[in-house]
Amino acid sequence: MERFTPTERSAIKRLPQRGRYERATVKEILDEGFVCHVGFVLDGQPFVIPTGYARVEDVLYVHGARASRMLKALSDGVQVCVTVTIVDGLVLARSAFHHSMNYRSVVVFGRARAVTDEAEKLTALHAFTEHVAPGRWAEVRGPNRQELNATSVLAVPLAEASAKVRVGPPVDDEADYALAVWAGELPLRLAAGEPVADPCLPAGIEPPPHVREYDRAHRRV
């Protein structure tokens, strides 16, 4: 299917015109973001935990340490809500009330499962590395047995999800358009700076192309 079917949980209820259910849109946002927030309930208490993630086809993999309380709690198949947000700009209106942000966000609902198969775990770890820096996995040492055992991975199917997107200028009250106040959009973007070498790096090792030419906005779908 090219679109997610809205459910009672995933349907955008406030400002529904901003809702997006195309799978390509959801995947594009997930592939550009860095950090997800995982919401769940444990022993009657709500938790929201930020962590790294990566997407492989229609599965979202969540990364963490084996000792993590979240990963221990969710490995039994607890229902989760995973969110990712990218801020594209500040929307500066003529009134304080109508200030906003341009953004792209995704909410994924599903039942998390612990990844116990070693091949799948390696696939997920490869995806985590490539998600952060495409081309990196081929240059670095892969995880050893101790590191694999110390790392937990959760899988959440991309079956129930939606995106919400705001673009464009501020929407002011009609009477406020006559105010002598600057209004408009202030675009924001995540940009890489100049690479800073590890002090322990031997002389003569230059940054590879995937570091020198890093561009977060150029992502896959």
pTM listed for this prediction: 0.91
What pLDDT is attached to residue 64? 73
Phi-psi region of 204 (alpha: psi -120 to 50; beta: other; left: phi over 0): left
Inside any domain, residue 8: no
Inside any domain, residue 192: yes
List of residues 6+ apart from 99 with CB closer than 8 A:
90, 91, 92, 93, 170
Structure confidence at residue 71 as a pLDDT band (50, 70, 90): low
Inside any domain, residue 219: no
Give the lowest-confidence range in 172-176, 198-202, 211-215: 211-215
Question: What residue numbers bound the domain in which 186 lies?
Answer: 16-212
Structure confidence at residue 16 as a pLDDT band (50, 70, 90): very high
Inside any domain, residue 2: no
Q: Mean pLDDT over residues 191-206, rounded? A: 94
* Burial profile 165-184: b = 16 or more Cβ within 10 angstroms, e = fewer: bbeeebebeeeeeeeeeebe
Indicate the number of domains in the chain.
Answer: 1
Instruction: Give the CATH number of the domain where residue 187 resides.
Output: 2.30.110.10
Inside any domain, residue 200: yes
Q: Are 107 and 161 in contact (CB under 8 A)?
A: yes
Across all residues in the chain, what is the average pLDDT?
92
Q: Mean pLDDT over residues 153-182, rounded? A: 97
Inside any domain, residue 183: yes
Inside any domain, residue 3: no
Structure confidence at residue 65 as a pLDDT band (50, 70, 90): low
Inside any domain, residue 150: yes
**Residue pLDDT, tens place only, 73-108:** 666 678 999 999 999 999 999 999 999 999 999 999
State yes or no: pLDDT of 195 exceeds 70.
yes
